[in-house]
Amino acid sequence: MPTAYRISGMTTIICYLFVLTSCGYHVGQQNAFSEYKTISVPYVEGDLDGDLTAAIVQAIACSGSFEYRLKDGALLLVVKVINLADVNIGFRYDRHRNGELSKSIIPDETRLTLIVEFSLLEAASGRLLDGPYQLAADVDVDHDYNGNNGPSDSNVNEYSLGQLSNADAAFEAAKRPLNRTIARKIRDYLSHSW
């Protein structure tokens, strides 16, 4: 008799699975925005060089969750930069021109933090579907100090005519991975929400 119950129970489970899958039911395969197939990303407010906008577009296009469209997407992802801040986190003693240590402490490591806010809108109606949410990402940067004294200023012509200093060049180089990190976080939210 227990064998008959086992067979009957197994048959019931198989019938339930068949009924659920035959009507198109999928377990855990869709997100809250699955009825929308396309998405557009307007230029990110506060993105001065366009790198953050490009990173978000690339991340979404590669995710497979949505088809990216330059315009006329069913969804609009509206993103704006809230803050880009830098905080000195590493220091060292400065040196005099003769190479001796001075009593001055100068920064040589900085943490860049980017905070963005994003919302998801239905493009046809302008209705807010989700958000606004804020995301943050940070990256640590090592650099030379741009002080007024010390060996870093020994060659004045090296940084003349408006060229970047070592710290500025390091910050610019670090913004690219920072933008990629924020873009991945937005993509992950859109792909795995709800």
Summary mean pLDDT of the chain: 80
pLDDT at 141: 84
Q: Where are the chain's structural domains? A: 33-192
With a pLDDT cut of 90, the percent of the chain lying above it is 37
Residue 23 has pLDDT above 80, yes or no: no
The answer to whether the CB of 76 falls within 8 A of the CB of 121 is yes
Closest CA to 139 of 113, 164, 163, 121: 113
pLDDT in tens, 33-71: 667 889 999 999 999 999 999 999 999 999 888 899 998
Using 50, 70 and 90 to split pLDDT, how confident is the model at 176?
Answer: very high
Bridge partner list, 141: 110
Residue 142 has pLDDT above 60, yes or no: yes
On the question of a cis peptide bond just before residue 107, with omega within 30 degrees of 0, the verdict is no
The CATH number, out of the four listed (3.55.40.20, 3.30.160.150, 3.90.1170.50, 1.10.3720.10), of the domain defined by the range 33-192: 3.30.160.150
- Strand, coil or helix: 75: strand
Three-point CA angle 34, 35, 39, nearest 5°: 80
pTM of the model: 0.69
Mean pLDDT of 109-131: 92
DSSP annotation string for 4-52: HHHHHHHHHHHHHHHHHHHTT--SS---TTTT--EEE-PPPBT-SSSHH
